[in-house]
Amino acid sequence: MENADYSLLNEPDMQEIFISFLVETKEILERLDLDLVELENRPQDADLLNQIFRAFHTVKGTAGFLGLLRLQKLTHVAEDILNKLRKGEMVINDFIMDAILNAYDGMKDLVAVIEENKNENFDTSSIITQLEEALAGKTELDAPAKTEASEVSSDEEDEIDEEETLEQPVVESVPIPQPKKAEKSGAAVQATAKKGENTIRVDVDRLDDLLNLVSELVLGRNMLSQINLEASMQYEGTRLVRDLGETSRHIDRMTTELHLAVMKTRMIKIGKVFNRFPRVVRDLSKDAGKKIKLEIKGEHTELDKTLIEEINDPLVHLVRNSADHGIEMPEDRKKLGKPETGTITLAAEHEGNNIIITIEDDGKGMDPEMLKEKAVSKGLLTKEKAAELSKKDAFNLIFAPGFSTAAKVTNVSGRGVGMDVVKTNVTKLRGIINIDSEVGVGTKIIIKLPLTLAIIQGLLVKIAEESIVIPLSSVVEVVHIPKEQIYHVNKNEVIKLRDGILPLVNINELLYSKGSVGEGDWQYIVVVGIAEKKYGIKVDSLIGQNEAVIKSLGNYLGEIEGIAGSTIMGDGKVVMIADIAELVNKLVETNNVEG
């Protein structure tokens, strides 16, 4: 590494090439993560081996051009192994597979260092040693010695450079002059051209700016609708009102379509997250001595980029828990009459303006009585209160901080952290999480999230003299009950809703320290879901549903507990958007109320 010169990475003229290298390499690494795990299941798949080989080769070539000698060396040795595998001179075994996966991990870490520091201060020597041992310690099939150049078959010369041409590699997204290649077939050229014409890369900041402009347009649309309503009442029947109404409807339709189009540009397939988990499950099953199969469904389901970034950690916790706590050892599964290989299913689907993510396993399930006993032993609740818990409430005990059912501490679990983090993250995203489990059958965890966090569907309600927006993604249902059916338990208001007891939240009291002044003998209750729990919000009247653009309160007001932001109504009035999670937390802290 003494001869490595990274000054090239800092030259202004190279910045576009350097950024293109990072984007291209990250895309390659994402595909490799899935392909390498699949290779373990299909070691004889020639197409898959060639695809993996080309990925390593592309990274090697670009690294050589940019003077990234450590990355070039790492990918070169891994490429040698893959070359022998695809030619049948070596056969995949556990040692070789681990070496290739370690090389992949090293590449990922090294690229992260290169992006952050523009150097290669990351030790790859142990990884390269393992690769060289795998390369040298395996028996090759009898084959005539060939040079590096002659090892490349004629039909692959179009895509793979010889070692001597490392100075000018093939990297499609980097504008580097290339030596003339043999012409591709007409179909290949047409497919490549079509892909290039239909795909561009756009900076996320530009998309954020565009979304902000659309948000302002939504506010303008709402104001125009309000003006149209007032004009139609005052000048009913006139041509001016008819024209205004037609224009208003047209603007409304176009704004809605534009909003959807902009949101789609920010949407990313959840497969970007899901595709990381085959490797996670593979490593977990190997470490634990279990046989686990991961099934992925709905990987083409799309959601906002912000949510993609936030949902990764909760899913990691849940999948690891399924592998560690859920799936039994092969011999135990066999005794129970189950297949030795356990199955974890990771699925996603759209439901209206929400996305539903499901993590399901066919493992041992959760015993509600055992969970109650564990909670009592940890002092989280009394025996009397534990006896009163429903099956669903018992399952929700796993979200308590410090709660763990692991018999011993392992690298995966048993430290009392994880599920409370899942609950916190899901709550932060205005989501709902539910658990369903049966002993001996398995566990199913369902997460419901809004598709976007920028523009929300809201339920506009009146509490005392204030109009407040409740995010519709948190609303489960609305009930209308006689006030005499509101009871007090330990000075806290509750209602009986079907088979359960629902704690009530008085927003007027929590925010303004005064009770509701609603009149009449009936009370509207908006039932909301916060992570795994439900609460009822007392409101005086329902105004209707509307599309709310979340605006910050600004530096002057700063953050106000229980308020997520504000929105501007069609008549110009500023209305607060309730942060249901914070309000409920405030209720719990103040009155020690649990949902």
How far are the Cα atoms of 9, 508, 528 from residue 531, in angstroms, in the given order? Answer: 46, 23, 10
Cα separation, 258 vs 244, in Å, equals 21
Query: Is 159 an annotated catalytic residue?
Result: no
Could you tell me if 296 and 274 are in contact, meaning their C-beta atoms sit under 8 angstroms apart? yes
Give SS3 for 497.
strand
Q: Of the residues 76, 79, 120, 259, which is catalytic?
A: 79
Please name the amino acid found at residue 93. Answer: N
Query: Is 321 an annotated catalytic residue?
Result: yes
Q: Of the residues 321, 396, 508, 546, which is catalytic?
A: 321
Cα separation, 398 vs 272, in Å, equals 28
How far are the Cα atoms of 146, 378, 403, 579 from residue 400, in angstroms, in the given order? Answer: 63, 11, 6, 21
Residue with token string 């002059």: 177
Q: Which of 273, 261, 260, 276 is nearest to 305 (CA)?
A: 273
Cα angle value 358/364/370 (rounded, 5°):
105
Please name the amino acid found at residue 136. Answer: A
At residue 550, φ and ψ (nearest 5 deg) are -75, 120
User: With b meaning 16 or more CB within 10 Å and e meaning fewer, what string describes 107-118?
Assistant: beebbeebeeee
Helix spans in 483-579 (H)? 507-512, 554-557
Q: Which of 492, 520, 512 is nearest to 563 (CA)?
A: 512
Could you tell me if 528 and 535 are in contact, meaning their C-beta atoms sit under 8 angstroms apart? yes
Residue with token string 């100075």: 167
Cα separation, 513 vs 494, in Å, equals 19
Q: Which of 50, 74, 8, 25 is nearest to 172 (CA)?
A: 25
Contacts of 307 (CB under 8 A, 6+ apart): 355, 429, 449, 450, 451, 452, 453
At residue 418, φ and ψ (nearest 5 deg) are 135, -75
How far are the Cα atoms of 99, 441, 454 from residue 367, in angstroms, in the given order? Answer: 40, 11, 40
Cα separation, 303 vs 320, in Å, equals 23
Q: Is the dihedral of CA 539, 541, 544, 548 positive or negative?
A: negative
Query: Is 16 an annotated catalytic residue?
Result: no
Q: Count other Cβ atoms within 10 Å, centred on residue 594.
A: 14
Cα angle value 497/429/431 (rounded, 5°):
25
Active-site positions read 57, 79, 321
